[in-house]
Amino acid sequence: MINIWRLTKLQLLSSFGLNKALHTKDPAERRKALLLSIAMIAGILMIGFVSYGYSLMMAKTFEQLGRLDLLLAVMMTVTSLVGFFTTVYKASGVLFSYKDYDMIMSLPVKTSHVVASRVLQLYVMNLFFTLLVMLPAGAVYALLVKPGVLFYLFFLMTLLFISLLPIIAATIVGSLISWVSSRFRASRMLSILFTFVFMIALMLGSFMINGEEQQLTDVGEGLGKMIFKLYPLASVYVDAVCSYRVPALILFIAVSVLAFVLFSTVLATRYKAIHTGLMTSRAGRKYTMKPLQESSVFKALYLKELRRYFSSANYVLNTGVGMVLLLLMSVSLLFVSSEKLGTILAIPQLSEYLNTFSPLVVSLFVILSCTTSSSISLEGNHLWILTSSPVSKQVIILSKVAVNLTITLPVIAVSSVLFVVTLETGWTESLLLLVIPVIYACYSAMLGVIVNLKLPKLEWTSEVAVIKQSAAVLVSMVIGVLTLAVPVMLFLLIEQLNGDLLMLIYGVIIAAVCAGMYRYIQTHGERLFARL
């Protein structure tokens, strides 16, 4: 056990950059670490506040149905599904595709300990999200129900085991997808395609389950059956936490722990063979000499960055899932009303929110699809090639911005048009719905690359550490979400405020900020690269 703990601790310290922050003697690095800590605490508080508000909103609806226990069931299921989805595409990178594999495997520790430490690393990553979702939900439930002491004891005990089973299931699925795709020539693209197809199929399956149950007369009972059918372990969880049933508590913990132990043990027996299979790829086509083509510096850098983007399944899946979800949502509104979609997603006021804040809803998915916040860090130890190249550093930065816009703008155009058709907006709302997300796409792309230049993470062993856990990704996402929250809060606080006028003014402000960031890149691009 001591070896598992040591390996897990070292991997987490390395992944989150804590080791350097704790031991650096550089005052500038210490100040940066302090500011990052403050930003992370602010981000955690903001997410916790939003989670609490969402749980309270749902609780009011469930209270009218007489089924407050469904609050914990829904949030536990959401936590498990989100953990499953996010782990599917990062499991292979954390478990197998890390740079220091040879060094780790040469250590005098058992393979099972290495496997267990890697799975625990995934567990800790997901535990953070579990706490942010479940603690506010538990607080809302306790506030409204005023349960006995056993609730708090059982709730805290089960909190540590919620994400274990989804992680194991996602690891198996993600590894299978990587293994199958590695058998073909275009392995990376097939891995991305298989993962997206699997996620979309799972979402559509949950929609179909919901569609069958909505015909029931008792809405509360029907919703409960739908949730428990979607994730049967949620029923055991509710029995343990809300009904204080000790057998259910033991079953929930036993299933989670036994699954973890069994998975780690079985995987350890074939770990090296699986790693070899996943890392082995087919040889490319026979090289044939072709005429050389010339292109501008910007085009060459843009195509290089685009190839780099699609060469990493983790990169594409983490930054592209927002656009996929946006497209799914806009297409689904052609067949499902916004009211019914709100019921499916457990957001009763979704129809009202879409009509009022549709430009910001689309922009939220854009913020979640920022590729530039990790584009500099992903250069890693190859960054010297860019810094020493006889090209303008501003062009390098703008080529990374252009790739982000290539990913977001086509989906924004299609989804915005579909929203205009399904929501039947007026010409003013339609124009704002088309323009505001485009402005936010430019804002998010330039914000991400500027933040990444100031907060680079060039020393990493796994791409996941950069794409999902780096400070630049967190800071740019928090800033982006906060800029979206400002107009929403203004609209909710000022009752007589015209929504279209607010969107217009805010769009002009964000456009001015984009112009300022573009000017900043033009004047400070060389200096920013020189500091790397």
Q: Tens digit of pLDDT for each residue in 86-101?
A: 777 676 667 776 667 7
Q: Is residue 81 one of the residues assigned to a domain?
A: yes
Please tell me whether residues 243 and 353 are part of one structural domain.
no
In this prediction, residue 360 carries a pLDDT of 87
Lowest mean pLDDT among 33-37, 172-176, 209-213, 257-261: 209-213
Q: How many domains does the chain have?
A: 2
Q: Please check the confidence at residue 143 and state whether its pLDDT lies above 80.
A: yes
Q: How many CA atoms lie within 13 A of 11 on its CB side?
A: 28
> Which tokens go with 17?
């950059």
Average pLDDT value over all residues in the chain:
79
- C-beta neighbour count of 180 within 10 angstroms: 13
321: its two tokens: 């899932």
Tell me: do 226 and 373 sit in the same domain.
no
Considering the domain boundaries, does residue 290 fall inside one? no
Domain boundary, last residue among 252, 282, 312: 282
Residue 250 confidence (pLDDT): 92
Given a cut of 50, whether residue 212 has pLDDT beyond it is no
Q: Which two three-digit tokens encode residue 463?
A: 């791409």
Please give the radius of gyration of the chain, using alpha carbons only, rounded to the nearest integer: 24
Asked if residue 345 and residue 275 are part of one domain, the reply reads: no
Domain boundary among the residues 260, 282, 304 is at: 282
Asked if residue 375 lies in contact with residue 449, where contact means CB atoms within 8 angstroms, the answer is yes
- Same domain for 313 and 242? no
Does residue 173 fall inside a structural domain? Answer: yes
- What is the reported pLDDT for 218? 46
For residues 376 and 449, the answer to whether their CB atoms sit within 8 Å is yes
Domain span holding position 52: 1-282
Distance, CA of 192 to CA of 203 (rounded, Å): 17
Of 227, 250, 282, which residue sits at a domain end? Answer: 282
pLDDT band at 44 (very low <50, low <70, confident <90, very high): confident
Q: Is the pLDDT of residue 372 over 90?
A: yes
Taking residues 362-371, report their average pLDDT: 90
53/174 same-domain check: yes
Residue range 310-325: mean pLDDT, rounded: 82
- Position 507 pLDDT exceeds 50: yes
CA distance 109 to 389: 43
Do 521 and 446 touch, CB atoms closer than 8 A?
yes
Higher pLDDT, 134 or 30: 134
Q: Identify whether residues 115 and 250 lie together within a single domain.
A: yes
| pLDDT exceeds 70 at position 23 | no
C-alpha distances (whole Å) from 254 to each of 162, 247, 257 are 12, 10, 5
Q: Scan for tokens 């691009």, then name that residue.
A: 525
Sign of CA dihedral 259, 261, 264, 269: negative
Q: How many percent of the chain have pLDDT more than 70?
A: 78
Same domain, yes or no, for 365 and 254?
A: no
Specify whether 278 is located in the same domain as 341: no
Whether residues 251 and 338 share a domain: the answer is no
Q: How far apart are CA 48 and CA 343, in angstroms?
A: 23
Per-residue HEC secondary structure of 430-477 comes to HHHHHHHHHHHHHHHHHHHHHHHHHCCCCCCCCHHHHHCCCHHHHHHH
pTM value is 0.70
Mean pLDDT of 499-516: 89
* pLDDT higher than 80, residue 294: no
Domain co-membership, 278 together with 311: no
Q: What is the mean pLDDT of residues 116-123?
A: 81
What's the pLDDT tens digit per position in 508-520?
A: 999 999 999 999 9
